[in-house]
C-alpha cells in the first residue's frame, strides 16, 4: 500500500533538479511514491529525470515518471500527478525546491496524529544565499481546527493568503471529493482558487511549525520573475475565487476578504508595471479595470475605503477607466 504520494512537476529546471531529486532520495520509504511529471521540458531535465527514475528505487521508494507531450503549466502538471497518485496521503513539491532529510516522515506523522483533512506547514525561503522562515499566518498550532475559521479577517494576512500547495499534506478523501485538483491551464496564481476551496469546503485542518521545505525564490525561469502575458492569469484565478465565494453560504462575510485580496494583487502588479512588456502592461490595465467592474460593487467600495490612500487612489483611478465590451466579459 502507498502511504504517501509526492507529486513533483518539472519544467526546464536542469540547474536545480539534481538537488530536488537528491532531497527526495533522503526522504525515501518503501511506502512512499514519487510521481515526477516532466511538463515538456526543452533542456536537459528529461535526461535527469530518466536517470532518477532508474536510480531512486534503489533508495527503497516507488517512482513513476510521466511526460507531457505539450507544456500545460504547473496546474495541469500537478493534476496529472494527482490523477496518477495512489497514496492515502498526498503532497506536492516544485522541481526547483528541496527538502530536509526525513521531512516527509515527520509530516506524515503530524497528519496521522492530528487526524485532520490537511496540515499546513511553515517553510524556509531561499533567495541566493539568504534564508528566512515564513510561517503560516495562523497562531494556533498542532490542534484540529475548522478551516473556515482561518479565512478572516479581511484586512489581515490569513491562511488563504499562504497559498503554497507544497507547504502541507492532504488526505486522499480531499482528492476523492474533488478539492485537490487545480484549474487546468492557469499559468500563475493557480494555488489561489485551490486554497480558498480547501478552506471553504474541507472539514478540518491543522497548522504545524515543522520546517523542511526549502523554497527557492528568484529563479530566473519562474513566472514570478517574468513579465509576460502568462502573469495575467492571476485575473482569471481571482475571478474564480470571487465567483465561487459569492456562492458560499457565508458569502456576506467572506466576500470582503476575497475582493480586498484581489484588489491588493491588482495594485501590486500596477505598482511594478515597468517589469511587463509594453503590450502586456496595457493589457494588464484594461483587464484589471474590467475585473474591478465585475466585482460586487458595494463590497468593492468597502474594500477601497479600507485600503491605504496610495493603493485606493490607484484602484479608483483604474475603476473609472473605460472598458471595451470584449474585455469586460
Mean pLDDT value of segment 244-250: 98
- Inter-residue contact 260 to 306 (CB < 8 Å): yes
Note whether 140 and 252 are same-domain residues. Answer: no
Which range is least confidently modeled, 4-8, 153-157, 288-292, 322-326?
322-326
Note whether 43 and 177 are same-domain residues. Answer: yes
pLDDT of residue 329: 53
pTM for this entry: 0.94
Mean pLDDT value of segment 145-152: 98
Last residue of a domain, one of 221, 253, 288: 221
For residue 89, is pLDDT > 90? yes
Instruction: Give how many domains the chain has, as a whole number.
Output: 2
Distance CA 229, CA 42 (A): 20
Note whether 178 and 267 are same-domain residues. Answer: no
Note whether 106 and 194 are same-domain residues. Answer: yes
pLDDT of residue 162: 98
pLDDT of residue 135: 98
Note whether 158 and 103 are same-domain residues. Answer: yes
Note whether 172 and 30 are same-domain residues. Answer: yes
Distance CA 229, CA 267 (A): 17
Question: Can you give the CATH number for the domain in which 49 is found?
Answer: 3.90.550.10
Note whether 76 and 177 are same-domain residues. Answer: yes
pLDDT of residue 92: 98
Task: For residue range 264-303, list pLDDT tens digits in order.
Answer: 999 999 999 999 999 999 999 999 999 999 999 999 999 9
**Strand-strand pairing, 123-127 and 130-134:** antiparallel
Note whether 253 and 162 are same-domain residues. Answer: no
Note whether 100 and 63 are same-domain residues. Answer: yes
pLDDT of residue 228: 77
Which range is least confidently modeled, 22-31, 252-261, 273-282?
273-282
Tell me the residue length of the chain.
329
Note whether 244 and 209 are same-domain residues. Answer: no
Last residue of a domain, one of 196, 221, 246: 221
Mean pLDDT value of segment 235-241: 98
Task: For residue range 68-80, list pLDDT tens digits in order.
Answer: 999 999 999 999 9
Last residue of a domain, one of 178, 204, 221: 221
Matching residue, cell 536545480: 16
Note whether 37 and 130 are same-domain residues. Answer: yes
Distance CA 136, CA 82 (A): 24
Note whether 160 and 41 are same-domain residues. Answer: yes
Per-residue cell: 178: 474533488
Distance CA 80, CA 181 (A): 9
**Residue 233: φ, ψ to 5°:** -65, -15
- The answer for residues whose C-beta is within 8 angstroms of residue 205's C-beta and 6 or more apart is 116, 117, 118, 119, 120, 144, 145, 146, 147, 150, 198, 199
**Average pLDDT along the chain:** 95
Instruction: Give residue 255's domain range.
Output: 227-328
For residue 109, is pLDDT > 70? yes
For residue 193, is pLDDT > 70? yes
Amino acid at each position: 500500500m502507498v502511504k504517501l504520494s509526492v507529486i513533483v512537476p518539472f519544467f526546464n529546471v536542469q540547474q536545480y533538479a539534481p538537488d530536488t531529486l537528491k532531497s527526495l532520495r533522503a526522504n525515501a520509504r518503501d511506502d512512499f511514491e514519487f510521481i515526477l511529471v516532466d511538463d515538456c521540458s526543452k533542456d536537459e531535465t528529461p535526461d535527469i529525470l530518466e536517470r532518477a527514475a532508474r536510480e531512486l528505487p534503489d533508495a527503497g521508494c516507488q517512482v513513476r515518471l510521466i511526460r507531457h507531450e505539450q507544456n500545460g503549466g504547473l496546474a495541469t502538471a500537478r493534476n496529472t500527478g494527482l490523477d496518477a497518485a495512489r497514496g492515502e496521503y498526498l503532497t506536492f513539491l516544485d522541481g526547483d525546491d528541496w527538502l530536509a532529510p526525513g521531512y516527509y516522515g515527520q509530516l506524515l506523522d503530524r497528519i496521522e496524529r492530528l487526524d485532520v483533512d490537511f496540515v499546513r506547514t511553515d517553510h524556509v525561503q531561499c533567495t541566493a544565499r539568504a534564508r528566512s522562515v515564513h510561517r503560516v499566518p495562523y497562531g494556533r498550532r498542532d490542534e484540529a481546527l475548522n478551516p473556515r475559521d482561518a479565512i478572516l479577517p479581511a484586512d489581515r494576512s490569513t491562511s488563504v493568503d499562504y497559498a503554497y500547495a507544497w507547504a502541507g499534506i492532504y488526505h486522499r478523501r480531499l482528492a476523492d471529493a474533488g478539492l485537490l485538483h487545480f484549474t487546468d491551464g492557469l499559468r500563475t496564481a493557480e494555488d489561489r482558487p485551490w486554497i480558498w476551496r480547501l478552506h471553504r469546503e474541507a472539514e478540518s485542518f491543522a497548522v504545524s511549525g515543522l520546517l523542511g521545505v526549502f523554497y527557492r525564490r528568484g529563479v530566473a525561469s519562474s513566472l514570478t520573475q517574468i513579465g509576460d502575458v502568462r502573469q495575467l492569469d492571476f485575473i482569471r484565478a481571482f475571478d474564480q475565487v470571487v465567483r465561487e465565494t459569492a456562492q458560499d453560504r457565508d458569502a456576506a462575510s467572506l466576500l470582503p476578504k476575497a475582493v480586498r485580496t484581489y484588489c491588493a494583487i491588482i495594485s501590486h502588479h500596477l505598482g511594478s508595471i515597468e517589469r511587463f512588456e509594453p503590450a502586456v502592461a496595457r493589457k494588464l490595465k484594461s483587464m484589471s479595470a474590467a475585473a474591478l467592474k465585475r466585482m460586487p460593487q458595494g463590497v468593492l467600495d468597502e474594500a477601497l475605503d479600507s485600503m491605504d490612500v496610495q493603493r485606493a487612489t490607484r484602484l479608483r483611478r483604474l475603476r473609472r477607466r473605460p472598458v471595451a465590451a470584449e474585455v469586460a466579459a
